[in-house]
Every structure is written in C-alpha cells, then in structure tokens.
Chain A
C-alpha cells in the first residue's frame, strides 16, 4: 500500500537525517523537508468512521507531538530513542516555547544524578564546578521521600495556599518515580547543570532538588561540548540579544554564584540542547503550524488517529518576510493552508496552557477577564501562544479536565502588576537582536519592587488603588529551604503545626494589588466593564534617582503607546490614549498627584499607607504602562500516571497523551513538571501499537 511505502520511505530518510554533522547545526543549514513522510494524494488512508474516513493525510509518523516546548521536545526525543518516528508540530516559527527563555531551574530529585553528584562534592564531567552549595544531608533523596513531599498536606505558604495538599496522587507518584530518570535523560542529551541551589516552586520542602541548566562561554557554540559563543549568549553591555537565546541578560558569568564560574544559565541550555539532539536523531519539525483538530476514529470513541493543523507563519512587521527558525535541518516546509498528519501510535498534546484564550481562561478564573492581561512571553511565542488549542481539541473528542481551580491560587498563574514598565512585553523583556523584539518593541524599564517607592500606580482614570510599595509583595514558592514564603522552620513533614492558624496568621502576606488594579473604575463600560491598563506615573526627579533608562531600546522608538512623556500632567493624561486598551484620558491624574504630593509633604499617606513618598512635581512627567500579567497556566487535560488523557468517564482515550501546562492535576511549577511529563509521555507513546 502506498501508505506503507510512504512510511518506509519516511523512516529511511529519517535515518539519513541522523547523519547530519554538527556543522549543519552551527551553520544553521536549511535542509527543510528531509525525511518528511509525504503521502501522495491517491494514497489516502481509509479510516473506519465516516468522520475519520474523509481525512486526507498529508504526513504520517508513529508519534505526533503537538508543541515544541519543554514537554514536546523531551517527549519527541524520548519516543525517537525508543524507535518511533516523530513529527513535532509547532505554531511558532522556532522551537523552544517558553522553555527557551526561562531560567532553566530544573527541580527534579528522588536521588537524581545531580543530587548525588553534589552530595559527593564531585565534578565527574569536569565542568569546573566549585564546592556544592547545599549540605549533603539536604541532598539525600529517594522517590518515596519525593512523593511524600509532593503530597504533603501540611505545607501552607505566605498567601495561605496549601501548595501540595491536593496534588493528584497518581500523577505525582509517577512523577516522583520518573524524576531521577528524567535528570539522567536530560544529561544524556547534552544538558549540563550547575550546583543544586534550592528547590523550585512546588518541588517539595525537605530536600534541595533544583539546579540551573548551563552553557560555558567560549568562542563558538557547540552543543555537544556545552559551549555558547559570546554572540549567541547575547551582549547585555551592548544591549543585544541573539536569536539563539532570548533569556533576559545578566552581565558577566551569572552561573558563577551557582558553582559554575564561566558559565551562563537559562532554559535555552535545555531547549537548544534537546532541539539539537532531536534534529540529530531524525525528529522532524512542522513549524508555523497551529493545531486545529485532533482526529479520532469516532467523535467520542476509538483511537486517536492524527491531527489537522493550519499554516500560522509569523511575519516580520516591517518587511513582511516569514520568520525562520534558528536551525532548519529537519524542518518540513509546507505552506498549504491546512494539512493533516497521521499518528500511527499516538498524539502527545504539549501545546502549553490556556491563558491566551479569554473564554477558556475565565471558565474557572474570573480574574482573567481583563483583555489587556499579558500572558507568557507572547512576543516570543506569538499571538497563538497558550491559546489552549490542545486542550480544546482534546475536549472536542471527549477529554476531561482536571485541576482547573489550581490556576486560581497559584502565584505564577495569578495576575501580577509588572515592575518592568513601559513595554507590552515585561515577561520577555528582550533587547534587539532576537526576533521577538520586533513585536515587543521595547525592553522596558526594570524598576524592581523598590522602584515603586518613586512612582505611583494609577488606573485608567488616573486614580491610585493600592500601596505601590506592596505591589510586588507576592510570592509563594513554599519549597526547600524551610522558612521560605511563610513555611515553618524548623520543618517537620506532615506536621499539623505547619498549617496551624497561628503559623498562617504570623506569615500571611498576600498582596491584593492586582485585584485592586483589576477592579472596575469610571472607565469600565458595558458589556464587559473591563478595568483598562495600569500606569506608573513618575517625574524627572525619580528618573534621576533611579538612573532609569528613558531611551530606546528600553522604550519603543517610534512610540507604541506604552510609554509617554509630557511637560505637564494635564498633557500626560491625554497622551495615554495612544495605549490600545485605554478608553479615556487619565481624568483624575492631576488631582491624584496633587493629593499625593500633599501626603508626601505631611509624611503620611492616609489613602494607602505607603511608607515612603516622594513628591511628583519635577517636569517632565512620565506615564509607563505597568502591564498586569500572568506567567503560567495550571489546570488542563486530565491525565493518568502514564500521561494518557482520560475522558469524562475516566477512561483512557487510546493514543492520546498530554503533559505540562496542557494538563491538570497539580500545583507543581515549571521545568521539573514539564520535563518529566515529556519523558513519561514519550516513553509510553512509543510503546503504543501501530494502527
């Protein structure tokens, strides 16, 4: 049959693709389309149901991975390692998702190889590490301890949330059992780690489990050697990013305090390493493809057969040229409007969260109704970032959801007023040089939490709404070491005293600043009554005190509506109308500042009890958008310990897997969660029967 012939051709070509030299990667060779399992039009796969029978498959592979972020990359490589042919579909122009710009802090444990390395004060890979940062006893770990930590009912953080209490037990047992394996899997795919320096959000209280992924600064980028060129690293002094690495820049060798002098850290060290490995091993990438539908044998029954995806290129805003991935070998460049991809074994949903979809994100979290809320690094990953496409597509074939309320109480999923101001993209905050800057337009001015002492925050009608010095006062890591974020010290696992009212009362310090910012105001109009943007208002004296950079690339040139300067407050109040979500001038701004200046003269802020006030009276005056944003998404598809997606009857949907932010069931944060999910999904998907 033509279908099988195509499959054979695909696999042989995929084998050839494995022969790529590293030179191909470093030179960003454009070997687009190599190994694609293109099915001729006459060789349409015949399916058992009327719905599925009408599908004309354009490509096929054993495993189809939806999303090239943290879950997707690990799942793809793991499945490929186990002999499956793999196609990864990604809506963005490049690989990496949120992972590529993250901090790379990977919290695993269970006695993983890095814990053991540091416990022995060893440096077996001769990375040049300095002494461990954590005492050996705090590194001795095993899967049982990790599972107990991940489900410890007693831990309550500084925002009053029991961070581990209702983590799904089956999921986290599986997660704990696979954490150490995942660490080794990452190390086997060129990822290096600095010394363990703590534990990430939701990674447990009793042991240190998190280390940063690192690359060593050198003359050239060499994934196998673990080195990164100065150009690819970026140049914070020269205010440049590279297309390789969009992580926020820190001068020098920022991994030095982490026991790795001469190294830099960041999620790019995982993302680019796994991307390199995936391409090297013959994984193929259909970039610029947005998932639209998952095809199942029957609408709500039978196996999952494949997916439909539409062309979603991102175009250079000035030239109109399509943005291209950093590496191109292994890419399938198909620009047809919609294509169908057959999955002979399984589909893995790794599409990320849902905060890009207002209807979806507000199903269980009413705070997110405000359309101006920024979600994730959308300039980096594009307007379709985190739009919940994988979740919705799976729901349409009968998938159930889980843990949706866990979105509501997670600090990373909660709206927060950014202290990077004057940009629409405070999460990415990149310099020019990375393509995402074309969309971000400005890096923003990082004033930090302390910077709010020198500014006021006003809503879209120019009124203050909270003590600005408490705007950034929200954190809820509740992870090792004890004492962080309100947790009890000394810490005894499962001890009721960790959750006693006295303990919670003594430590509670949740900021309601974002709730106040999102409240209705005079500018809130029907039918949605949205609250509009938040503005940081300050004067020339604040700029001088803070040394804030009021220039490109920290602010946009030409202006983009997120930063304004005026000779008078009255003019400033009008200028903000250029912001896309601003509905009216800052009607009360002059009166607000007058009142604030009076309070500064008295030394008492009777309105909001801000402890230190500086008059705002020295021209020129500034208004910088302080974007309300969420970082991560919790709640999603219900999965079991194998990451198989379950339907509303609790039954496995055959051939469908999910992980990371596309799945629900826990409060665990970040890379640790996603990497293990990817590892588990890739393992089991590759072992599915061929259909």
Chain B
C-alpha cells in the first residue's frame, strides 16, 4: 500500500523522429513512473504547445516494467520550418489519499521543408548533334504532396537553360505520387558525353517544399550515315524473336514482329549483341562502312536448375 501523502512522479518523453516534414504527424510516447510504486493507470497525459494549447491527450494505460505508458500520442508538425518545442504535462491526480502533483517536461522536434526527389528518364542513348529529343522528368514529394504545376528547369552542361516545363496533373503510370512532365530539348552541337541537370523549384508558400534536382547523361555522337539491319530468329523454330534487344553501343533497337531491327549508325567498328529473354546472347564484331544486314539465330537457354530435371 503506497504511503499516503504527496508523491513525485517521473516522466520520460520519446519522440519517434527528431525531424519530420512540415505538417506531418509527430508521434510521441510517454512513460511515467512513481518511485513509491503507485499504480498510475488512468492518470492523464496532456500534450501542449508553447502557448499551452492542448494538442493531444491520453491516459496512462499499459505497464512496461516499472513505468506506465500512454499513447502513442500524435500531433501535427507546424508548417513553419524550424525547431519547435512542446510540453508533456502529467496532470495532477489524487487517489486514496495519495496526491501526485502535476509535472511537465519539454521536448522538441524539427519541422523541415518537404524534400523533392527528382529523376529523369527516356533520354535516347545516342543523339546526333543538334537533334531534338524528348524525355521525362518526375518529382516525388517526401510527403507525397500533389505537385501538379510545379515548374521544372533543365540546365545544360554549361548551366544554361535547355528546357522548361510544368509537372502534369496526373502521376506517372504505376506510381503513387510521382508527378512528371515531358520535356523537349535540343542536343549539344558537338559529339561528346554531357551531364545535364533537372531542377524542381521549391516553394515557401503554404506547405514549404525544398527545391530538388538530379543530373542525367546526354550522349552526342557523329551523325549516323549507315544502316545496320538485324534479323533475329529462334535457332530451332526459325520463328522471329520479337522484342529481342540489339545493341551496337551506343545504338539500340528492338526486334519487331517480323523479326527485324534497323539501327542507323555512324561508320566504324562495333560489337553487335543480340539478346532475348530465354535466349543465349549472340555477340560478334561488325565493321560498318556501308549498310549492313545480318541474320542471327539465337539458341534457347539450356534447361537450367530452375527447371525440374
């Protein structure tokens, strides 16, 4: 039986994340104990702002060792970026002549601007000097916010503007919150490997969003002057292998339903690789000094250990 009188309780606050997105939920756990071993169940915990406004409240319920726990309690992080301090108040309680005075403890967390994850895809593997091309840029907010209309800027290898767009209303197919835009651009005027940048603007109004960016490769090669035609068939059935991949780096193509792929290349020596799903890849060296046609018969992969034997 606890000694009658005033008891001092202890209170520990555990914040799940030190940093959270502005406006996101902050999860707070509270553990309280009485050195006299009092049963603290039903004692109330109040989570309050610096202005002493209650943000959340709960009762201590479950026991965890010598302590009692409440929660988890949640509050919404302010939209103001920066450190914020709140208080957990363990309200006064009296039971069977035992008085527990109110105690409180402060805790803090950082509200940060939402991060933008930027990616680019669909850039052709080889471009001729000055060739127009189209690619996609996507932006995902760390809090999965709607980003439609957000401006994008494309900077070339010299930091000069190379394109601009705004994120579309829809998300990219197959994703939950990746907003995207298709961007038109013009390749540099000379062959070479270039690194470009895509940047999504930040915003301080409303929900704060940080800017984000990514880099991507732009490869410019001599203008093609010859055509390589590849016919790919199954070595056993002679059937066309639609979808097989043809590579004469940096040029790529896929075999069509007729079993043919055509790629325009600059003259030179190439390693020609033809590969298909469930087939052993074909590889040979090809010297291209004019239009070239080659027929490739691919052998099926041997029965492997994935198959029962």
Q: Which residues of A contact B (CB under 8 A)?
A: 101-105, 200-201, 247-248, 266-267, 411-412, 416, 418-420, 426, 429, 446-451, 453, 469, 472, 474-475, 539-541, 545-547, 565, 567-568, 570-571, 597-598, 601-603, 611-612, 614-615, 617-620, 631, 670
Contact = CB atoms under 8 A, between A and B. Distances in A.
A541 B176 CA distance: 17
5 contacts: A105-B309, A448-B301, A469-B281, A601-B217, A618-B122
Interface in B54-94: none
Contacts of A631: 305
Interface stretch (B22-30, B155-163, B244-252): B244-252
Contact of B304 (A449, A545, A568): A449
B273 A540 contact: no
Given A448-B278, A619-B172, 8 more contacts: A105-B309, A446-B306, A448-B306, A450-B275, A450-B279, A601-B219, A617-B121, A619-B175
A487 B43 CA distance: 79
Given A419-B304, A567-B140, A201 B309 contact: yes
A418 B306 contact: yes
Interface residues of B, number: 42
A451 B306 contact: no
B308 A568 contact: no
A670 B301 contact: no
B178 interface: yes
B243 interface: yes
A348 B280 CA distance: 45
Nearest to B280: A450
Given A105-B309, A619-B178, A597 B217 contact: yes
B306 A612 contact: no
A416 B306 CA distance: 10
Given A266-B308, A411-B305, A567-B177, A619 B247 contact: no
A602 B194 CA distance: 11
Contacts of A472: 301, 304-306
A669 B254 CA distance: 41
Contacts of B128: none
Contacts of A618: 121-122
A546 B273 CA distance: 17
Nearest to B135: A617
B307 interface: yes
Interface of B: 117, 119-122, 125, 138, 140, 172-178, 193, 216-217, 219, 243, 245, 247, 249-250, 254, 273, 275-281, 283, 301-302, 304-309
A620 B281 contact: no
Given A570-B117, A601-B193, A617-B119, A611 B281 contact: yes
Contacts of B278: 448, 450
Given A601-B219, A611-B273, A617-B119, A419 B306 contact: yes
Nearest to A602: B193
Contact of B277 (A200, A447, A670): A447
Nearest to B122: A618
B281 A101 contact: no
Given A450-B281, A619-B174, A103 B308 contact: yes
A300 B81 CA distance: 76
A70 to B, nearest CB: 13
Contacts of B283: 611
Closest 4 CB pairs of A and B: A103-B308, A603-B249, A617-B121, A601-B217
A416 B281 contact: no
Contacts of A200: 309
Q: Is the interface of B mostly helix, strand, loop or mixed?
A: loop
Contacts of B306: 418-420, 426, 429, 446, 448, 472
A446 B277 CA distance: 10
A568 B245 contact: no
A416 B309 contact: no
Contacts of A446: 306
A248 B273 contact: no
B172, B174, B219, B308 interface centre (most CB from chain A within 10 Å): B308
A612 B174 CA distance: 26
Contacts of B216: 617
Given A598-B217, A619-B172, A620-B174, A412 B273 contact: no
B281 A568 contact: no
A76 to B, nearest CB: 24
B242 to A, nearest CB: 10
B305 A568 contact: no
Nearest to A451: B277
Contacts of B175: 567, 619-620
Nearest to A472: B304
Contacts of B308: 101-105, 247-248, 266-267
A631 B196 CA distance: 48
Contact of B301 (A105, A429, A450, A619): A450
Nearest to A412: B305
Given A201-B309, A411-B305, A453-B275, A545 B174 contact: no
Given A450-B280, A619-B138, A612 B243 contact: no
A531 B88 CA distance: 43
A605 to B, nearest CB: 11
Nearest to B248: A603
A670 B309 contact: yes
Contacts of B117: 567-568, 570
Contacts of B138: 567, 619
A475 B302 contact: yes
Contacts of A540: 173-174
A42 B211 CA distance: 84
A68 B154 CA distance: 67
B225 to A, nearest CB: 20
A483 to B, nearest CB: 12
Contacts of B219: 601
Given A601-B193, A612-B275, A453 B119 contact: no
A611 B245 CA distance: 13
A522 to B, nearest CB: 23
B177, B249, B277, B307 interface centre (most CB from chain A within 10 Å): B277
A614 B277 CA distance: 14
A248 B307 contact: yes
Contacts of A547: 243, 277
B188 to A, nearest CB: 15
Given A612-B247, A618-B121, A619-B174, A546 B309 contact: no
A36 B226 CA distance: 82
A469 B216 CA distance: 25
Nearest to A485: B302
Contact of A450 (B122, B250, B276): B276
A453 B307 contact: no
